[in-house]
Chain A
Amino acid sequence: MRPILLSGHERALTQVKYNPDGDIIFSVSKDHVVCAWFSHNGERLGTYHGHQGALWTVDVDPTSSLLATGGADNTMRLWEVKTGKLLKTWEFATSIKRVEFSSDGKLLLGVTEKRSGHLSTIVVYEINPDPAAEQTDEQALRIVCDESKATVAGFSYLSHYIISGHEDGSVSQWDAKTGELLFSTQVHEDDMQITDLQWAPDRTYFITASKDKTAKLVAADSLDVLKSYPTDTPLNSAAITPVKDYVILGGGQAAMDVTTTSARQGKFEARFYHKIFMEEIGRVRGHFGPLNYVAVHPQGLGYCSGGEDGYVRVHHFDKPYFDFMYEVEREQAQAQANL
């Protein structure tokens, strides 16, 4: 496969996201600008200007009409995808580390950073899906994380729960209606920050990536760890691929040590693991900095990764990716074909 290299950002990428149809990629970086790209050829559709600080997070609603971003300028913003128009700005006391729409696009969640005098919170807003409509200032829900600060969060299936990953390696389950803490469990090692949480397509389970060098597949209902993927490097991101049962993990040497390590030692590769067998099946190299985020095409046709090196690399999978099967899988497929 020939990756497409997107070089529109001047600083390290922090998050990349496909829209639900998989034709547009949104990328945010520390250079204050949001970029939208066509995924098939890497053409840049446009840029969204307005943020005054590094951007940490981006998410797009299910209809690809609204875009939410959050950054270090203590604001969460809502944009019209088509025109790049800023629709709404919510201001906070601290920076926004994560935003995510619910699967129906009616709710928007934001995770605020913990800083002197301010605890980390998860805020939820009701969103009017019409770009022309006025958006509310009123928070539908506000969860204060007083134990350990939340780093990532998302809505489970049917917006039933809010699942949050924390700095201390624990994962919490909150009632998305009342904000009540239902359950909390230590998924990753103590004091190893959870760096990413991405959902399976049906949002009944998710994958977490952590600085403890592992990624774990966790059920949304019970918070049971279903699968664990150990690696040899701190992870920044993990994604579940549809169509094929793989997971993609991204990470690498801590950003501050990058200049002192060679690309090979830095382990700046996307690692592919088989989701069920928990076995590494391959790596894709290319970045010369740690991978800060990996996102998978919602139809499973490719993936893209944003690196500390300031590039987004868009990969379209080719035949060997789809053909690969374990012996048992092949036997099973054959048995089914014979029926």
Chain B
Amino acid sequence: MSRVAGRTDWAEEEDEDSLQLPQQQIIKNKDGTETIITYSIREDGKKVKTTRRIKKTVIKQIVNPRVAERKHWEKFGSDKGKPPGPQTDTTSVAENIVFRPVSNWKASTEDKNETEKKKASLKEAKIKCRICSGDHFTTKCPFKDTMAPEGEATPADMPDDAPQVGAAGAGSGSYVPPHLRGRGGAGEKMGGKFDRDDSATLRVTNVSEFAEEQDLRDMFSRYGHVTRVFLAKDRETGRAKGFAFVSYADRTDAARACEKMDGYGFGHLILRVEFAKKPN
């Protein structure tokens, strides 16, 4: 890039550079093509010479005269006075779609793959009923009304605040109906209103990690006045950890909720609801 000597004003620099650019050249070649040479300055300040060779061909297209006439119609209505050509606010081009007709087309392959994958993953995951060990969900078990879960004492024999081994929802410690709960020798509970009355508190496990407290409140307040909902959340991710506590004002409401909501499908999971146990 040549610079004019003795130049003092920096503001003129750009202008002078552009002035330095040679004119566009158009050369007509013998074979009917044209060579166009243009010069431009790139962003990094370098001068660029562009040589393009163009062949012009005239394509004759026969158009319907009515269509041709309509192309020159003035715009009207909301588009009155707008320049010709598509306007960006009303017209855009969508992403490319591959459309290839095929015989014996079936619900497009990718759709199928996804549903099939889901099905396969469900098949792999073994479903085992806690009552009869069949391959269905416990809630769907034909014996769920008549039989207690396998390997567990009947609810009547099991005091509700007996220390439980194993993590929450690990398959042990199933629901004990409240009317049976007091009889198992745990009568002191009814009177024990010292710190917080946990007798009407339900422990809800297997909660979807996308659940919100309000969702649970909405679901559980169907059965009575809910005084407290606590949903354990991961401090870092803010997602639910999978369990929650719901307290009712009235224990009978809690019992009803417990009965109805156990096995209720929420999100993609099946809720497990039981009465909360006193911390020992």
Show the binding face of A for B, using Cβ within 8 Å: 1-8, 21, 23-24, 33, 37-38, 41-49, 64, 82-84, 246, 264, 272, 274, 277, 279-286, 313, 315, 317-318, 320-321, 324, 326-327
Complex CA distance for A44 and B82, rounded to whole angstroms: 10
* The one of B87, B99, B103, B104 that contacts A44, using a Cβ cutoff of 8 Å: B87
Is B8 at the interface (CB under 8 A from chain A)?
no
Q: Which of B89-148 contact A (CB under 8 A)?
A: 89-97, 99-106, 108, 111
Is B86 at the interface (CB under 8 A from chain A)?
yes
* The one of B73, B79, B97, B103 that contacts A286, using a Cβ cutoff of 8 Å: B97
Q: List 21 A-B contacts (CB under 8 A).
A: A2-B93, A7-B90, A8-B78, A23-B67, A23-B70, A24-B70, A37-B91, A42-B92, A43-B84, A44-B78, A44-B79, A45-B79, A83-B76, A280-B105, A282-B102, A283-B105, A315-B99, A317-B99, A321-B99, A321-B101, A324-B100
Q: Which residues of A contact B105 (CB under 8 A)?
A: 279-283
A4-B91, A272-B99, A320-B101 are known; give 8 further A-B pairs, CB within 8 A: A2-B93, A3-B93, A33-B78, A44-B90, A45-B79, A47-B79, A49-B77, A283-B105
Is B64 at the interface (CB under 8 A from chain A)?
yes
Q: Which residues of B contact A84 (CB under 8 A)?
A: 76-77
Interchain CB contact under 8 A, B67 and A3: no
> Whole-angstrom distance from the CB of B74 to the nearest CB of chain A?
8
Interchain CB contact under 8 A, B95 and A46: no
Complex CA distance for A272 and B100, rounded to whole angstroms: 10
On whether A2 and B97 interact (CB within 8 A), knowing A45-B75, A64-B70, the answer reads yes
CB contacts between A and B, total, < 8 Å: 129
Interchain CB contact under 8 A, B101 and A82: no
Is B71 at the interface (CB under 8 A from chain A)?
yes
Complex CA distance for A272 and B67, rounded to whole angstroms: 28
Interchain CB contact under 8 A, B103 and A281: yes
> Whole-angstrom distance from the CB of A141 to the nearest CB of chain B?
30
Is B80 at the interface (CB under 8 A from chain A)?
yes
Complex CA distance for A327 and B103, rounded to whole angstroms: 9
Interchain CB contact under 8 A, B91 and A1: no
Q: Which residues of B contact A21 (CB under 8 A)?
A: 64, 66-67, 70
Q: Which residues of A contact B92 (CB under 8 A)?
A: 4-5, 7, 42
Q: Which residues of B contact A317 (CB under 8 A)?
A: 99
Interchain CB contact under 8 A, B94 and A46: no
Interchain CB contact under 8 A, B102 and A43: no
Complex CA distance for A280 and B103, rounded to whole angstroms: 7
Interchain CB contact under 8 A, A4 and B94: yes
Interchain CB contact under 8 A, B97 and A46: no
Complex CA distance for A97 and B106, rounded to whole angstroms: 35
Of all A-B residue pairs in the complex, the 3 with the closest CB atoms, nearest first, are A47-B77, A46-B76, A42-B91
* The one of A5, A38, A46 that contacts B80, using a Cβ cutoff of 8 Å: A46
* The one of A6, A44, A284 that contacts B97, using a Cβ cutoff of 8 Å: A284
Is B85 at the interface (CB under 8 A from chain A)?
yes
Complex CA distance for A35 and B246, rounded to whole angstroms: 55
> Whole-angstrom distance from the CB of A321 to the nearest CB of chain B?
6
Interchain CB contact under 8 A, A6 and B90: yes
Interchain CB contact under 8 A, A282 and B101: yes
Chain B: which residue is nearest A323 at the CB level? B101
- Of the listed residues B71, B87, B95, B100, the one surrounded by the most CB atoms of chain A closer than 10 A to its CB is B100
Complex CA distance for A253 and B94, rounded to whole angstroms: 23
On whether A3 and B94 interact (CB within 8 A), knowing A272-B101, A282-B100, A320-B101, the answer reads yes
Q: Which residues of A contact B96 (CB under 8 A)?
A: 1-2
Chain A: which residue is nearest B115 at the CB level? A264
Interchain CB contact under 8 A, B101 and A43: no
On whether A47 and B76 interact (CB within 8 A), knowing A5-B92, A5-B94, A279-B104, the answer reads yes
Interchain CB contact under 8 A, A44 and B91: yes
> Whole-angstrom distance from the CB of A192 to the nearest CB of chain B?
23
> Whole-angstrom distance from the CB of A274 to the nearest CB of chain B?
8
Interchain CB contact under 8 A, B108 and A283: yes
Interchain CB contact under 8 A, B70 and A1: no
